[in-house]
Amino acid sequence: MADAATPDRPGEALTFPQGFRWGAATAAFQIEGSTREGGRGESIWDVFTRTPGLVIDGSNAELAADSYRRYRDDVALLAGLDADDYRFSISWPRVQPGGTGPANEAGLAYYDRLVDELLAAGIAPVPTLYHWDLPQELEAAGGWLNRDTAYRLAEYAGLVVDRLGDRVQRWITLNEPAMTTLQGYALGSQAPGHALMMGSLPTAHHQLLAHGLAVAAIRERGDAEVGITNNHTLMVPATDAPADLFAAGAFDLIYNRIFADPVLTGAYPDLSGFGLEAIPGLEDGDLELIGAPLDFYGINFYNPTRVAAPAEGSEFAAAGLPFEPVEFEDVATTGFDWPIMPETFTELLVSFARDYGERLPPVVITENGASFPDEVVEEAVDGGVRCTVHDERRIGYLDEHIAAVRRAIDEGVDVQGYYLWSLTDNFEWAEGYTQRFGLVHVDFETGERTPKDSYAWYRDRIASSRG
């Protein structure tokens, strides 16, 4: 293992263990566009974006980054970074338009082309089977509140692996089931837009069951590596008051542990504090499927969360919940107003290694990044004009968080890869096109791509990390 050097400024040398894998991440609905082409079916996000008032700028993803047509451009950008891996997602409604039945040949053929293009460029494909784009027909039948949806995802996984498994060696089953449950079904801020609060809990179990069934489907078809991606945050109590300490622990359970414990330990945490003896929907044999050993565990991290006892009259108090997220004080933030506290990233990773021990497989950071308001500027160069984006704040965020990962490795956490979110600007869910995370600026009218300063910085960081 190479010695580490903690940077005091962006660009200072920082080497990583031999074999550490670098990449970038995207999601199908956010970048592909072409939502009505090639026999693609309708997803819950197509319906959500058509509903007035739900997407902040009233936009949709019919064009997005136009990657369905411009995927070769994106692979070339990855090759320019000298990336090892590309984490992308496969659109369930593009492959299986209604969520059941035979595969759509045109959909599979698109991912055939993408995988082959990546391999020809020396980049390993790392597909995510489910990144939030549930076929609308399944939502009409109950969505993730319906246990049958888990079996439908496993069927879809089999179709994809049968087609691509001869070339894909690493799979991710689900992306951020916590966000589907909390934002999609509890608060209604994301598709499918239900505000069920604690009534959303069956969706947590059904998604994890889908993960377990998908793992089994992949294992049946070969010896590829498989993992899951969960979004995790470090809970920071607002004060040392007992009520705030209890609130932080309760929110940690709902946000982190309900989704990590069953996968890593084969058991749900104690839910008696929420008046539950067991997670709704649990049946005999489910936990054996959910807790099947994994080859890696994906962690998405963006920021910590400050938690307090709920204020009187808040929606959390009205729902009978013992916690409420509150803002940090005097902390720099991203364009999303997310607090920038890289030291909490190290703390989170170390806590996972400490709490789960040998049950934690190697960790891959499957998303980390920041949105900031970007501006394309024209600069004179060699008698012509060059367009670029000077995104120093993004570079600073990335530099500090990559250093935080290196510190976690120094403290004994087995982190084996880092995928930056995201390769290109994209359709940012309910925020539409108002938030930009990409290393590459996208003109959402023309699809034109302009690498930002952070693109060159990440390319150089990858090169220097290899020693």
**Does 250 reside within a domain?**
yes
Catalytic residue among 32, 139, 324, 367: 367
What is the C-alpha separation between 171 and 230, in angstroms, rounded? 14
The pLDDT value recorded for residue 384 is 72
Tokens of 407: 């510190």
416 is in an annotated binding site: no
Under the banding of pLDDT at 50, 70 and 90, the label for residue 124 is very high
Residue 182: which of 259, 260, 273 has the closest Cα? 259
> Is position 176 annotated as part of the catalytic site?
yes
Going 146 to 430 to 64 to 390, the CA torsion angle's sign is negative
428 is in an annotated binding site: yes
356 is in an annotated binding site: no
The whole-angstrom distance between residue 328's C-alpha and the CA centroid of its chain comes to: 23
CB 428 within 8 A of CB 374: no
Catalytic residue among 32, 139, 176, 324: 176
What is the C-alpha separation between 349 and 359, in angstroms, rounded? 14
Task: Specify the pTM.
Answer: 0.96
300: pLDDT strictly greater than 90: yes
60 is in an annotated binding site: no
What is the C-alpha separation between 215 and 389, in angstroms, rounded? 41
Under the banding of pLDDT at 50, 70 and 90, the label for residue 6 is very low
The pLDDT value recorded for residue 1 is 27
CB atoms within 10 A of CB 379: 10
pLDDT more than 90, % of the chain: 92
**Does 442 reside within a domain?**
no
Mean pLDDT of 205-212: 99
Q: What is the CATH number of the domain that holds 112?
A: 3.20.20.80
**Does 381 reside within a domain?**
no
CB 205 within 8 A of CB 282: yes
95: pLDDT strictly greater than 60: yes
383: pLDDT strictly greater than 80: no
> Is position 37 annotated as part of the catalytic site?
no
The pLDDT tens digits for 227-284 are 999 999 999 999 999 999 999 999 999 999 999 999 999 999 999 988 899 999 999 9
Q: Are strands 449-451 and 440-442 parallel, antiparallel or unpaired?
A: antiparallel
The pLDDT value recorded for residue 380 is 76
309: pLDDT strictly greater than 80: yes
268 is in an annotated binding site: no
421 is in an annotated binding site: yes
**Does 350 reside within a domain?**
yes
The mean of the pLDDT values for the chain is: 95
Tally of domains within the chain? 1
The pLDDT tens digits for 25-69 are 999 999 999 999 999 999 999 999 999 999 999 999 999 999 999
171 is in an annotated binding site: no
The pLDDT value recorded for residue 3 is 33
**Does 259 reside within a domain?**
yes
| Residue 248, burial from CB neighbour count under 10 angstroms (0-12, 13-18, 19+) | buried
**Does 247 reside within a domain?**
yes
3-state secondary structure of 129: strand
What single-letter amino acid sits at 49? T
Under the banding of pLDDT at 50, 70 and 90, the label for residue 4 is very low
**Does 385 reside within a domain?**
no
Provide the residue count of the chain.
Answer: 467
**Does 44 reside within a domain?**
yes
What is the C-alpha separation between 111 and 165, in angstroms, rounded? 12
* Domain range for 77: 21-371+393-436
The pLDDT value recorded for residue 5 is 34
The pLDDT value recorded for residue 268 is 98
12: pLDDT strictly greater than 70: no
156: pLDDT strictly greater than 60: yes
Q: Are strands 296-300 and 363-367 parallel, antiparallel or unpaired?
A: parallel
